[in-house]
Structure 1
Amino acid sequence: MIQIQTGSRLHFGLFSLPADHAEPWPNHAGTPTLPQRQFGGVGLMVKEPGIRLTFEEAKKWSAEGLHADRALQFAVACCNSLHIQTAYHMRIVSPAPQHVGLGTGTQLGMAIASALHAVARHDGKECNVVQMAALIGRGQRSAIGIHGFEHGGFLVEAGKRSDAEISPLLIHCDFPTEWSILLVVPRDLQGVHGSREAAAFSSLKREPVDERATEAMCRIVLLGMVPALIERDLETFGEALHEFNYRAGTMFRPFQGGVYSHPRVEQIVTCLREFGIPGVGQSSWGPATFAVTDQAHAAQTWLVRKGVISSDEAIIATPCNHGAETTIPTKSADG
């Protein structure tokens, strides 16, 4: 039986959006020189809620558990590309929710691609993480989830050039294990996804390019967030994270009507800041809301007592500083 375990992805925000008429960035003389990069951004892998899958050989493909239909779609696509004839029964043992800002689709697809690649590799077929992402149609915009699947930890990606397969990984480092992440996932809300997400980016391409905004966000990450992370300065890291996330949200204001995707998300962010946690924001399209803190239990209790959330809407997550873990049985010498 093959087993694979991966974490969940928090996306803190993009550096920039694609534009219909983006020009190369100018040098000191004003000459367009540096190629524009699209998307890019910052994120973190956490252990909870995560995804765990098992694969057992079977007469035909089947799947059980939450997201079973989507898992089968990924499996069929991978098998067709890798020319795998063996069928498996997949069990999705601990599934993270979909379409809430935790990158579940990418982690599920990468887990399946990785497991089937492990099978194919035994037959001499090689496949890297970029190729795995291509198998499941990922990496067209952000690659935080792809790099997070491989490496875990805190991640900064550079952004895609127009001719690139995925955005390259710029910074990767371990996240302090003494810090926790309070995740609040409001019930009955979903983030933008699928065709609506594609429509959102299509409409946002018509917005004017704001190079100053991208420059400011790069400064926040390079001179604020990353040094504070290395120095284990939770307060400074939190303030930089919140500011970066807020500025990232303003890019989507023309589409979602505000910095955050829903008034409930804004309420949760405001309340957590009032509690005294600086590093609060929305992951991706939301509605998942994060708070990086060393007092997660107290913050959760406070939110519940105020009636802002119910206890089952919160998860206390821990950093995942390693990539996905795959266990595949070895074949004995006698077959």
Structure 2
Amino acid sequence: MIIRTPKRLHLGLIDPTGSLGRRFGSLGVALEGGYEVKVLPAERLEVKAKGEDIETIKKALERMNSTFGTGTGYLIEVRKAIPRHVGLGSTTQLSLAVGTAIAKLNNLNVSVERLAEVLGRGKNSGAGIYAFAHGGFVLDGGVKEGVPPLILREEFPGEWAFLLVIPEVKPGLDEEEEKPIMSGNFGDVNVAMEISHRILLGLLPALKERNVRAFGEHLSVIQRLVGRHFAEFQGGEFREDVKLILDWLSKKTYGAGQSSWGPTVYGLILKAEFQRLSAELNDHLKEHGIMAKVELGLPRNAGAEIVSENAFLERLIRSVAQ
């Protein structure tokens, strides 16, 4: 069995204060280019992966076995991966890929919310969970008990895209590093109210009306507001080491921001503008001596794809024959 996941662009947390009885509330967009993971039954556990992916896979296996008795005899091979700790949701996507495959192989009918709970996902945000399940633009209703509920899922316009920049700087915080922050008391309820106002009467109508300029303007403001919640932990509304890139993106794209703890930053563009803007951006990066990877972030309006090994081989053979 082969699972292909999205990667997740995190567009912000709404209310860390929990002023209405729910903490956080998150919004995000699914993008193409996530994990491709092969999972097969085997006599013993064999993991073909690199770095922290190995530990994530083993933890997912242990949690699935502890809850459902699914055993540990599997061959798990990571064929394509999301970079770790850059703000693109690698841990959630890989955990859910492994959990989903094991559930399917054992004929378990388990909801994505239940899988996420078993795998320890969704403690602060549901954006990655629902990007995995449904693709598109997703908004969750905040954490109260268990996994936050999905409030809205909307198709993301196919002609829109993101100019993604992953600079070669300090990685974003991992789950252990962020734990004391996310479990503490922080944030500003007035900022949360303004973010909510912008989402309901700005961002979402612009998405429905396919108004890229208005969507980008509201997204930029929301990102700066979200940054105020986290300013004491990252040195300002955004990380200092991505400021030069964000300044450029803010001037050249429809809207810009930082995904999660970064260092990935992004600008909202039309897909047709990517070649021109990426060339200009690379010149800007070179001029300032900034080492970074520039990518086209294509929206993905479908959740994780699950195919059998035979179906995958048949498709590969057909593509080669054509």
Same fold by TM-score, threshold 0.5 exceeded?
yes
Change (3 A) 1:7 1:13: same
Matched, 1:174 2:155: yes
* 3-state SS of paired residue (1:155): strand
Q: Does residue 290 of the first structure (1) align with residue 249 of the second (2)?
A: no
Picking from 287, 306, 310, the partner of 1:326 is: 306
Q: Report the Cα distance in structure 2 between the residues aligned to 1:301 and 1:133, rounded to whole angstroms.
A: 40
State yes or no: 1:110 paired with 2:96.
Answer: yes
Q: How does 1:86-235 map to 2 (within 5 A)?
A: 87-121=73-107, 125-161=108-144, 164-203=145-184, 205=185, 207=186, 210-235=188-213
Q: What is aligned with 1:81? A: 67
Secondary structure of the 1:172 match is: strand
For residue 281 of structure 2, give the secondary structure of its aligned residue in structure 1. Answer: helix
Q: 2:30 corresponds to which letter in structure 1?
A: M
Q: CA deviation at 1:79?
A: 2.4
2:29 is aligned with what amino acid?
A: L
Contact 2:17 2:189 in 1 (8 A): no
Post-superposition shift, 1:140?
1.1
- Structure 1 unaligned regions, length at least 5: 23-34, 331-335
Following superposition, the deviation at residue 70 of structure 1 comes to 2.2
Q: Deviations over 1:136-190 (max 9, x none)?
A: 11111111111111111001112122xx211111111100010111111112421
1:86 positional shift: 6.1
Q: 1:29 is matched with which residue? A: none
Report what 2:228 is aligned to: 250
Which residue identity is paired with 1:195? E
Task: Answer whether contact 2:39 2:98 (CA < 8 A) is retained.
Answer: no
Instruction: Give the number of equivalent residue pairs.
Output: 304
Q: Secondary structure at the match of 2:4?
A: strand
Query: What's the C-alpha RMSD, in Å, of the aligned pairs?
Result: 1.8
> What secondary structure sits across from 1:91 in the alignment?
strand
The letter for the 2-side match of 1:226 is L
Partner of 2:35: 51
State how far apart, in whole Å, the 1-side matches of 2:274 and 2:199 are. Answer: 24
* SS at 2:35 equivalent: strand
What is the distance in 2 between the residues matched to 1:246 and 1:10? Answer: 16
Whether contact under 8 Å (2:32, 2:300) holds in the other structure is yes
- Amino acid in structure 2 at the alignment position of 1:268: I
**Partners of 1:129 and 1:150 within 8 A in 2:** yes
Inter-partner Cα distance in structure 2 for 1:267 and 1:75: 41
Corresponding residue of 2:10: 11
Q: 1:324 to 1:299 in 2, by over 3 A?
A: same
| Secondary structure at 2:299 match in 1 | coil
Give runs of aligned pairs for residues 256-271 of structure 1, distance below 5 A: 256-261=234-239, 263-271=240-248
Describe the superposition over 1:255-276 as per-residue Cα deviations: whole angstroms up to 9, x where unpaired.
1111112x2312111011222x
How does the TM-score come out when normalised to structure 1? Answer: 0.86
Aligned pair partner of 2:45 in 61, 68, 75? 61
Contact 1:191 1:286 in 2 (8 A): yes
One-letter amino acid of the structure 2 residue matched with residue 282 of structure 1: Q
> CA 1:223–1:196 in structure 2 vs 1: closer, same or farther (change >3 Å)?
same
Structure 1 residues 272-328: Cα deviation after superposition (integer angstroms, max 9, x where no partner): 1222x1311000111111111012222211111122576861111210101111123
Is the aligned partner of 1:273 residue 2:250? yes
Distance 1:38 1:193, change over 3 A: same
What SS is found at the alignment partner of 1:313? strand
4+ runs deviating over 3 angstroms: 308-312
**Would you say the 8 A contact 2:86–2:264 is kept in 1?**
yes
SS at the partner of 2:172? coil
TM-score when normalising by structure 2: 0.89
- Stretches of structure 2 lacking an aligned partner (at least 5 in a row): 311-322
Q: Give distance in 2, aligned partners of 1:304 and 1:189.
A: 20
| Larger displacement relative to structure 2 (242-251 or 299-308) | 299-308
Residue pair 2:2, 2:309 contacting (<8 A) in 1 also = no
